[in-house]
Structure 1
């Protein structure tokens, strides 16, 4: 009798046979009991926020570092510890966490803050108000309850991007909130992957936002190995992850700015690939396969998320790679005619190219042309095949791809 692979896989699922004993340990939201190799940063952030336990407002704080350097983990750990201590306090402290990249609009970000202040849909509708009115209602609730707030805005660089895109400077209002509050207070704690994002801010915001700054350095390959070993101990059965796979995983993540989140994600995907292949161990080959899969998945998801005209621009860059903004605009107009879309202005297209460049899908380089001045030329940073495979499934784009 032929062994049916479907039955074999489902039998293993039903019997609970798995090389992974606790999947949550490999999830990005998991908060370990001990955060390895971040004692100095834990101490600095704690010192910065500690005045709130003495009923004083802490200074605004900016936390910088490349992705996967433990910024969010450290901040969440300290907030949890503060929360445990203030539950018994009569001093009304409110800790609020929001990720700017998870909210597509400034309005949505303010509403998510409002919900954590217990403002319901009647008091703060999900749409329809001016942002100034939303902000006024947030401050009113803070005053009513005399809240002393620590507001964490993760990926605050993305909020700065939204501000420059819309012209509505929520950051300025947040940093000056205490001037409008008669009771209660607000401390802003920004977490950023981009050390240069302040260059895009209004100088008035910079002076009040960065009262204190802490920079998280990259993890070394040896530190990544220790972090992975710590997760492996709780996530897997003993002996499941081969040493060579662990070393490769740490080395690959170490190449990418010492990114611990990338290392843990790589291990998680590799273990799922190993499990589906009915392997008893996670091997080097599973790590390599996982790396390829993750890169393709990340790029495909990003490409699908773009609106139509930005997709057309990406196609134009692909077809006119290495050409200037004006030449790409001409290619874009040709594509618009082909699918019967009204083209946007060249000024708007130039803005959109800069926005797409921020995501890393395309790259722009300033070229000096002597007496003719300078121009910016764009190239695709991902494989054209990924663009073609992703967009060819869309009826609107299949004829121009």
Structure 2
């Protein structure tokens, strides 16, 4: 009997690959030509032109839904400017951080700070132990001592607004006012946001200096996504390995839902991997559909794993007492706390947590009228229970509950 691992490895070695260059389908890849973004590229370049004239540009806010090319365009323009000023007497330094990838304000500032210093000097920005204001002072000192003209690109800056509100430290204000403190060097802030409403949560003083210039990226159409896919396919796949109907389906699924080119490219990559694993000669419609299902499951698993322990216990309580009232779910939650030897939270806090989880769409609540007994809310899971079990199976505290 052939070992199943050997069989997979043999197939992978002997079977021909559908891919020519997988990197082209990775979200960090910056193509030579960014299709359907000519105007946006011009606007971002014009906004940053002062860097070539040895001056500080205005702070810039770039808006648009996910997958509309914002980060791609900003990175490409900055890379091209960097190439030109490398030999000049006004060198610029680009710093990039994604606020969504950092769970704390401290972590975000450390990530930016470490990009300012030479290798081996990481101790200046330790991962714990300093106050927020001390880290900020060190960032300012690093810029000043080395006369750096810095451009801070903060992707998903709407998450930074959340981190700021959680910490109570208004780093936005400090960042936008940094140049008033700098005697040498400069700091320009470029914020990239998926959320057009996030400005409403900002202090008016911050808003005026943060959004000195603004550029909005519109959604791609289905036909534009199709052209983007065809361009990537030429570079990423061996010729004639993708059915035209599969390309059309991939563009339609991503375009009609969100106008999200990044999702379309991801969908294509995963479909290609599924087809290759099965040793299929072509990527077909069925591979696109299965890739979409896998992406949805992966997204739900990631969301479930990101929750702290008590939220996970609460999700399990909803799953076990499906379609039950807040009171019944709280009772189920208390039982789970007892089993896992966790100190239970109050019913008020648990009710608040249920509302927070409901907002993510993982559970849904329905108001039920009980006549003279008033109203109550019943919660149920919107996911397949198997997805929850799969997501939580590696959590040692929860393994006995599944």
How does the TM-score come out when normalised to structure 1?
Answer: 0.88
Residues 1:347 and 1:115: Cα distance change in structure 2 (over 3 Å): farther
Corresponding residue of 2:110: 111
What secondary structure sits across from 1:122 in the alignment? helix
Mean Cα displacement is larger for which, 135-144 or 202-211?
202-211
Match of 2:51 in 1: 52
Summarize the Cα distance change of 1:213–1:280 in structure 2 as closer, same or farther, 3 Å threshold.
Answer: same
5+ long unaligned stretches in structure 2: none
- Check conservation: 1:12, 1:18, Cα contact below 8 A: no
Contact 2:15-2:279 at 8 Å conserved across structures: no
Q: Spell out the pairing of 1:20-35 with structure 2 (5 A cutoff).
A: 20-35=19-34
Q: Determine the structure 1 residue equivalent to 2:259.
A: 258
Deviation, 1:14, is 3.4
After TM superposition, list the pairs within 5 Å mapping 1:1-400 onto structure 2: 9-11=8-10, 13-14=12-13, 17-118=16-117, 120-318=121-319, 332-345=333-346, 349=350, 352=353, 356=357, 359-362=360-363, 380-391=381-392, 394-398=395-399, 400=401
Shift of 1:332: 3.9
Alpha-carbon distance, 1:339 to partner: 2.9
Please provide the CA RMSD for this pair: 3.1
Report if aligned partners of 1:245, 1:287 keep a CA contact under 8 Å in 2.
yes
Output the CA distance in 2 between the equivalents of 1:383 and 1:356. Answer: 16
Query: Separation in 1 of the partners of 2:94 and 2:366?
Result: 42
| 1:67 Cα deviation from its structure 2 partner | 0.8
In 2, the alpha carbon distance for the partners of 1:377 and 1:87 equals 62
1:140–1:362: structure 2 CA closer, same or farther, 3 Å change rule? farther
Partner-residue secondary structure (3-state), 1:288: helix
- TM-score, scaled relative to structure 2: 0.88
Distance 1:157 1:27 in 2: 24
Work out the number of aligned pairs and report it.
Answer: 398
Judge conservation of contact 1:97–1:153 (CA < 8 Å) in 2. Answer: yes
Q: 1:354, 1:196 → 2: CA distance?
A: 21
SS of the residue 2:154 aligns to: strand
Q: Secondary structure at the match of 2:124?
A: coil
**For structure 1, which runs of at least 5 residues remain unmatched after alignment?**
none
Contact 1:101/1:158 (CA < 8 Å) preserved in 2? yes
Q: Are the structure 2 counterparts of residues 354 and 130 from structure 1 closer, same or farther at C-alpha, using a change threshold of 3 Å? A: farther
Secondary structure at 1:250's aligned position in 2? Answer: helix
Residue 19 (structure 1) shift: 1.0
- Alignment CA distance shift 1:319-1:161 (3 Å): farther
